[in-house]
Amino acid sequence: MKRSIVCTSYKNTNFTRIVAMLLSAIVILGSLYLVPMQEVSADLVLNATISAKEANVRSSTSSASTLVATLNSGHRVMVEGEPIPGEMVTAYNSDLWYLITFVDTEGVQQSGYILAPFVVLDVAYTEDPAFEEMILDFPESYKFYLRMLHTQYPLWRFEPQMISLDWNTVVQNESGIGRSLIWNGRNDAWKSAHTVNDASLPGWQPNIADAYNWLTNQYVVYDAGGWVNASSGIIGYYMDPRNFLTDTQVFQFLKLSYDPALQNRDGVVNMLSGTTMASTQIVNSAGAAISYADAFMDAAITYNVNPYFLAARVRQEVVLGDGSFSGSASGNYPNYQGFYNFYNIGASSSTDPIALALRFAQSTSSDPAKNHGRPWNTPYKAILGGASWIDAGYISVGQDTLYLQKWHVIPIPIWGLYNHQYMTNIEAAASEATKLKSAYTCPGSLPLTEQVLTFKIPIYQNMPESRVPPPAKLGNPNNWLTSLSVEGIPLTPSFDPNILQYDILVSSATTSINVSAIKASTLSTVSGLGVCELSVGVNAIDISVIAQNGIVKTYTINVVRMDETQVPQFTTTYTVQGAYIRGVHEKQSINDFLATIIPNEGYVVELFDVTGAPKALDAVMCTGDIFKVKNAAGEQVNYYIISVIGDASGDGRINSYDLTIIAKYVIKELAFSGSSIQSADVNNDGRVNSYDLTLIAKHVIKVTPLY
């Protein structure tokens, strides 16, 4: 009998994106370092770097035109020609756009227009021996970006911070549940699908410590507002300092101590523009009315903390999109009226982080070193008290950059590693860097080219040779079914999302079946469902589930349409009854069973478990095992399912569990597949009832054996 496949389904076998990327060497002519042509496709010479945290590429020189792609800080592009006048974008005070060509994270070469302030053009670097000495301890993969910065800002200083931790170990630890979060609205490739138990194994069930539920396609929310665990891939991107060595993003490595020569009230005023703090006055500890800018300067002077950093942190934590305060700083949050927490200190991930922050602001400590001016029942006390807390808890213990306040990668007594992080949002340091830079470029400030700024940049052990890109935004990974069924016919084994092979037996009178399924994700597509015609013999019906990210999972239902005229090509002492072999005993070994099977000349027999895996010779026979006979050509000629009398559960034993499930079947609380019904029908009268239960019960308590 030839194997026939009469119901076919669409299979997408080519989801691979082909990227032709070449790396050219850095050419050094005399003392002139030319721009390295990194990450280059066959005809693409890269000559600029994205400097913004995120930058949209458009189809024309207008922010209203079609979005081509969104690029992240550090992405290398080719700028074609001079800047082009276009739509004025007030937020960035620019009407100049560049035409760029680039290879996106999916490996596709594209072109489009980008605002000029989002791009830093490569410049020629003339060797500076003193600067080369300064960056001597940086890996080569850092030096290109540092040289570009030095050429533009010759007074800036860069300090290597050697982190004595393995790169992969750090990323793994920062990926711990609840430790590094990202907004749920981000692409699914940037969200963690980590599960405590292996989600590829049959019987998987969600765990309270999972980041994702494959059955419901839901990411677990760890903080109010829809913050979920970030994927290790995007964590690696945000942790890699090489992605942020641009004139804007480098500010997340700026040392955060106060320097009166560089930081002043005008800079703070600039930081507060567009917010409620720009025009509102508060009362200081002496009862005098002052501006918010004055309050931040008082905090800077008192606690030696950079006031620009303090203002940037407040904007990041408690200022809403319209410039008003969130509940943490409004003074009127329910049950906490009259209390303020401008830095959201104590607002750990929870369903109501604002309440936690204000509970901290309301509380006090008997230890003056830990009290920090609480209770914070005025805005002034909250601004200064929060600065005191940040200095004592972070800056003075070595977490003196925005980067280190997000990524706890230096040992701190009591806290150890990875636990003492100001924010869980993995994008926070990058967001605050943009705000922090704006303070240094406010009207009246010295040009950045004349400012002496010091940046402390981490270097990890065993880092990748080149920068870590953000994961390709391929989308949702879920290719699961939560239900698969054939109308009127049970599957063997019972459906499980991680069991991919199923068997059913039908009579020769059954010429078609109707397959239906429920998918776990609405973003996936399913093929192979509906009515499938059957030929006599084995029909392999494939049901393919294609996740949004292109990964395919294929479930196969092997339908055996019986040929009642087939002749068993073996002899046995057991009863061959339709599609079943009956009479097998509890705990019977494979060897004992096979000893009773004599295949006809030229034929071989094979035994498989319910999942389709070959049975080991030292295993025992179980209800649901599959018995096949093949001819010399390897073609299947006989197909039967084993029925161990009394073993309705299919584990090869008869015990109280079998009694329980058979009882539920009798009272119609549980459905059985054909082989379980055969096993439960102990007296072989075609029915499963209380008499069968009685016979099995007597066997279990060793009154009357079944065999």
For the chain, what are the domain ranges?
31-122, 125-255+401-475, 260-399, 570-700
pLDDT of residue 530: 97
Query: ∠ at Cα 551 (547, 553), nearest 5°?
Result: 85
Residue 17 has pLDDT above 50, yes or no: no
Strand residues in 381-506 grouped as ranges (E):
454-461, 481-486, 501-506
Classify each residue of 217-255 as buried b or exposed e, where b means 16 or more C-beta atoms within 10 Å of its C-beta.
bebbebbeeebbbbbbbbbbbbbbbbbbbbbbbbbbbbb
Question: Around Cβ 167, how many Cβ atoms within 10 Å?
Answer: 18
pLDDT in tens, 610-650: 877 899 888 999 998 989 999 999 988 888 889 999 999 88
Residue 552 has pLDDT above 90, yes or no: yes
pLDDT of residue 5: 28
Q: Which two tokens stand for residue 612?
A: 């389709």
Question: Around Cβ 178, how many Cβ atoms within 10 Å?
Answer: 16
pLDDT of residue 12: 35
pLDDT of residue 673: 64
How far is residue 179's CA from residue 419's CA, in Å, rounded to a whole number?
Answer: 8
Q: Which residue has the higher pLDDT, 453 or 230?
A: 230
Q: Which residue has the higher pLDDT, 445 or 23?
A: 445
Query: Are 163 and 461 within 8 A, CB to CB?
Result: yes
Residue 22 has pLDDT above 70, yes or no: no
Closest among 686, 675, 560 to 610, alpha carbons compared: 675
Strand residues in 371-477 grouped as ranges (E):
454-461
Q: What is the pTM of this model?
A: 0.75
Residue 41 has pLDDT above 90, yes or no: no
Q: Using 50, 70 and 90 to split pLDDT, how confident is the model at 462?
A: very high
Q: Using 50, 70 and 90 to split pLDDT, how confident is the model at 444?
A: low
pLDDT of residue 6: 30
**pLDDT average, residue stretch 332-340:** 96
CATH assignment of 570-700, among 1.10.132.10, 1.10.10.60, 1.10.1330.10, 3.40.50.1370: 1.10.1330.10
Q: What percent of the chain has pLDDT over 70?
A: 93
**pLDDT average, residue stretch 407-411:** 96
Q: What percent of the chain has pLDDT over 90?
A: 73
**pLDDT average, residue stretch 275-290:** 95
Q: Using 50, 70 and 90 to split pLDDT, how confident is the model at 678?
A: confident
Closest among 150, 153, 152, 194 to 171, alpha carbons compared: 194
pLDDT of residue 3: 29
Q: Which two tokens stand for residue 431?
A: 């967001």
Which class in CATH covers the domain with range 31-122? mainly beta
pLDDT of residue 20: 29
pLDDT of residue 495: 93
Q: Which residue has the higher pLDDT, 491 or 299?
A: 299
How far is residue 69's CA from residue 85's CA, in Å, rounded to a whole number?
Answer: 21
User: Considering the chain, what is the average pLDDT of its residues?
Assistant: 89
Classify each residue of 22-31 as buried b or exposed e, where b means 16 or more C-beta atoms within 10 Å of its C-beta.
eeeeeeeeee
